[in-house]
């Protein structure tokens, strides 16, 4: 059975000043699946990812044409951006824990959304750390600085922090490119666990990673999405010649 | 929990190979029983079962290819997947040979058999061949090189039995030419069992590779 559509982009163009970074992208992301975006640097995949929670709004000179729907709602129409970003969480390439305790990192989001008091925050912190598979490693040092954790642990704290505000969607922009293979494996396993409840869109330079964990894959080049389909199809018999050349390491 | 999905897929692959092994062993058993009892229904059952064997073999192949594609196994994992892919071809061929034997059985249904003492070797060959198939899969599952080596040795016994049966059939052809058709059909059945032994030996060779990275003392 096909999952419901969670994110939809329609005729999406994006300009940074005069430079067109996305060209007529049409895309549907199914809920509770992992969708991977691949393509050479500068192809627009991270730009597209940032469209989904309007992170590009912060970039001067950025103009968007076309529509993006999250859960059927046009995110450029009457949308509270703070609520959108609560619903659509994000994890970045480098772990960016706040310089504060592990507990406060996780409680940060809920607090800004009005949750107060240890009685209310404790269960959220525990649950989020558990879901991000970092609880066992963090439970005895919740009040210590998150900066004391390893890179892989910090990245899972960042995922826990994103989960703490109960998002529906997690955007991940190269979440493992700064991590060693073991930490990478843990994040990948975590993604597979998380997709039971969340929709995940991941940008990765690691094609093997996309093949390992994603259900769908989109290939981007020079702002265009040239191929989109089931990952097993894209990686075994891509339809687009440039996609084939890229994933087999012949250009890019 | 590291790479738990990969481990799960590998477990599925192993259990499907065991299932395929059981199906072909059953076909071997039934093919020799159908031959001895001249049982048309049983022979037709084996012929029909080959479709199921082929279906499962295809399924294992596509799962194994999918693991190669999505999990990019290396080191021991890569050897296990390669071995599984090679094994599945041998097992599928064994199923074909059991089917071929049963096609011959259908030609022999109304025959008055020459005294079974002449071809008492055939059930022994079938028994040995089946044991080899069983042990070859066991050696893969347990990754036990000693079991695999035993399978490779047993193939010599099958070959010796085959040579004996061949001599019996030559003798039969010369002494009782009216049984020529039986001699030729039984010879073919013997060849199929001998080939089944070869396939089991192939599997065992690959299990040795799987464990050591060497096949017939050659690094691959």
For residue range A74-120, list pLDDT tens digits in order. Answer: 999 989 999 999 999 999 999 999 999 999 999 999 999 999 999 99
- Supply the pLDDT for residue B1: 45
Flag residues of chain A having pLDDT under 50.
none
Q: How far is CA B3 from CA A83, A157, A178, B6, in A?
A: 35, 20, 19, 5
- Among candidate residues A145, A130, A70, A82, the one with its CA nearest the CA of residue A109: A82
pLDDT digits (tens, 9 = 90+) for B87-118: 999 999 999 999 999 999 999 999 999 877 77
Please answer yes or no on whether B3 and A185 come within 8 Å at the CB atom.
yes
A chain contacts of residue B65, beta-carbon cutoff 8 Å: 236
- Among candidate residues B31, B40, B193, the one with its CA nearest the CA of residue B108: B40
Q: What is the SS3 assignment for A5?
A: strand
Q: pLDDT class for B5, splitting at 50, 70, 90?
A: confident
B chain contacts of residue A133, beta-carbon cutoff 8 Å: 1
- Encode burial over B75-111: b for 16+ CB neighbours within 10 A, e otherwise: eebebbbbbbbbbbebbbbbbbbbbbbbebbeebeee
A chain contacts of residue B64, beta-carbon cutoff 8 Å: none
pLDDT digits (tens, 9 = 90+) for B32-79: 999 999 999 999 999 999 999 999 999 999 999 999 998 888 898 999
Q: How far is CA A199 from CA A5, A34, B6, in A?
A: 10, 6, 21
Please answer yes or no on whether B69 and A189 come within 8 Å at the CB atom.
no
Domain A5-247, second-level architecture: 3-Layer(aba) Sandwich (3.40)
Please answer yes or no on whether A208 and B72 come within 8 Å at the CB atom.
yes
Please answer yes or no on whether B2 and A211 come within 8 Å at the CB atom.
no
Please answer yes or no on whether A235 and B69 come within 8 Å at the CB atom.
yes
DSSP state letter for B71: H
How many helices and strands, by DSSP H and E, does chain A display? 10, 10
Q: How far is CA B32 from CA B36, B91, B97, B145, in A?
A: 6, 18, 12, 29
**Residues A90, A95, A99, A105: is their CA dihedral positive or negative?**
positive
pLDDT digits (tens, 9 = 90+) for B130-174: 999 999 999 999 999 999 999 999 999 999 999 999 999 999 999
- Supply the pLDDT for residue A70: 96
- Supply the pLDDT for residue A1: 63
Q: Is B75 on the interface with A (CB under 8 A)?
A: no
State yes or no: ipTM above 0.85.
Answer: no
Put simply, whether the predicted model's pTM sits higher than 0.95 gets the answer no
- Supply the pLDDT for residue B2: 60
For residue B55, what are the contacts with CB-CB under 8 A and spacing of at least 6? none
Q: What is the SS3 assignment for A97?
A: coil
Please answer yes or no on whether B2 and A192 come within 8 Å at the CB atom.
no
Q: Is A187 on the interface with B (CB under 8 A)?
A: no
Q: Is A57 on the interface with B (CB under 8 A)?
A: no
Please answer yes or no on whether A232 and B5 come within 8 Å at the CB atom.
no
- Supply the pLDDT for residue B21: 96
Residue A212: closest CA among chain B residues belongs to which residue? Answer: B70
Percent of chain A with pLDDT over 70: 99
Q: Is B70 on the interface with A (CB under 8 A)?
A: yes
Q: How far is CA A57 from CA A52, A223, A247, B209, in A?
A: 11, 18, 32, 58
State how far Cα B87 lies from the chain centre. 10
Q: Is A233 on the interface with B (CB under 8 A)?
A: no
Q: How far, in Å, CA of A80 to CA of B70, rounded?
A: 39
- Supply the pLDDT for residue B116: 74
Residue in B5, B67, B78 to test binding to A, most A beta-carbons within 10 Å? B5
Q: Is A231 on the interface with B (CB under 8 A)?
A: yes
Please answer yes or no on whether B69 and A182 come within 8 Å at the CB atom.
no
Residue B168 near residue B111, CB atoms below 8 Å: no
| Topology of the domain comprising B4-219 | Methane Monooxygenase Hydroxylase; Chain G, domain 1 (1.20.58)
Q: How far, in Å, CA of B81 to CA of A44, rounded?
A: 37
Please answer yes or no on whether A232 and B70 come within 8 Å at the CB atom.
yes
pLDDT digits (tens, 9 = 90+) for B202-218: 999 999 999 998 888 78
Average pLDDT, chain B: 94
DSSP state letter for B114: P
Q: How far is B65 from chain A (nearest CA, A)?
A: 9
Phi/psi region, residue A70 (left: phi>0; alpha: psi -120 to 50; beta: rest), is beta
Please answer yes or no on whether A231 and B70 come within 8 Å at the CB atom.
yes
Within the 119-158 window of chain B, which residues sit less than 8 Å (CB to CB) from chain A?
Answer: none
Percent of chain B with pLDDT over 70: 99
């Amino acid at each position: 059975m096909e999952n419901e559509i969670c994110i939809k982009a329609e005729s999406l163009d994006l300009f940074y000043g005069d430079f067109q970074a996305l060209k007529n992208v049409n895309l549907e992301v199914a809920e509770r699946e992992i969708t991977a975006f691949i393509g050479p640097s500068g192809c627009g995949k991270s730009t597209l990812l940032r469209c989904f929670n309007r992170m590009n709004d912060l970039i001067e000179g950025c103009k968007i044409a076309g529509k993006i729907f999250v859960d059927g709602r046009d995110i450029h129409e009457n949308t509270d951006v703070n609520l959108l970003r609560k619903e659509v969480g994000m994890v970045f390439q480098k772990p960016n824990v706040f310089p504060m305790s592990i507990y406060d990192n996780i409680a940060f989001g809920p607090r800004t959304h009005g949750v107060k008091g240890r009685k209310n925050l404790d269960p959220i912190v525990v649950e989020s750390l558990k879901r991000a598979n970092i609880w066992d490693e963090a439970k005895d040092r919740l009040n210590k600085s998150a900066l004391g954790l390893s890179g892989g642990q910090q990245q899972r704290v960042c995922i826990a922090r994103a989960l703490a505000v109960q998002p529906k969607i997690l955007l991940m922009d190269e979440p493992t490119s700064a991590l060693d293979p073991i930490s990478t494996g843990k994040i990948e396993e975590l993604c597979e666990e998380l997709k039971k409840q969340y929709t995940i869109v991941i940008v990765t330079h690691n094609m093997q990673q996309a093949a390992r964990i994603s259900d769908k894959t989109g290939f981007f080049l020079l702002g265009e999405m040239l191929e989109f389909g089931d990952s097993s199809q894209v990686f075994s018999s891509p339809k687009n010649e440039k996609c084939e050349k890229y994933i087999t390491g012949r250009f890019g | 929990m590291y790479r738990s999905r990969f481990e799960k897929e590998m477990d599925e692959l192993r259990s499907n190979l065991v299932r395929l092994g059981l199906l072909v062993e059953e076909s071997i058993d039934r093919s020799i029983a159908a031959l001895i009892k001249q049982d048309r229904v049983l022979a037709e059952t084996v012929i029909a079962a080959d479709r199921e064997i082929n279906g499962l073999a295809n399924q294992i192949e596509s799962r194994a290819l999918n693991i190669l594609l999505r999990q990019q196994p290396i080191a021991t994992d890569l050897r296990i997947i390669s071995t599984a892919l090679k094994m599945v071809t041998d097992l599928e061929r064994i199923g074909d040979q059991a089917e071929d034997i049963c096609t011959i059985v259908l030609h022999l249904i109304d025959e008055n058999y020459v005294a079974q003492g002449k071809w008492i070797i055939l059930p022994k060959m079938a028994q040995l061949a089946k044991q080899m198939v069983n042990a070859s899969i066991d050696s893969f599952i347990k990754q036990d090189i000693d079991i695999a080596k035993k399978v490779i040795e047993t193939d010599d016994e099958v070959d010796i039995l085959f040579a004996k049966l061949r001599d019996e059939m030559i003798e039969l052809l010369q002494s009782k030419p009216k049984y020529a058709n039986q001699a030729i059909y039984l010879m073919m059945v013997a060849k199929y069992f001998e080939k089944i032994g070869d396939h089991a030996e192939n599997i065992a060779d690959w299990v040795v590779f799987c464990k050591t990275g060497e096949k017939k003392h050659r690094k691959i």
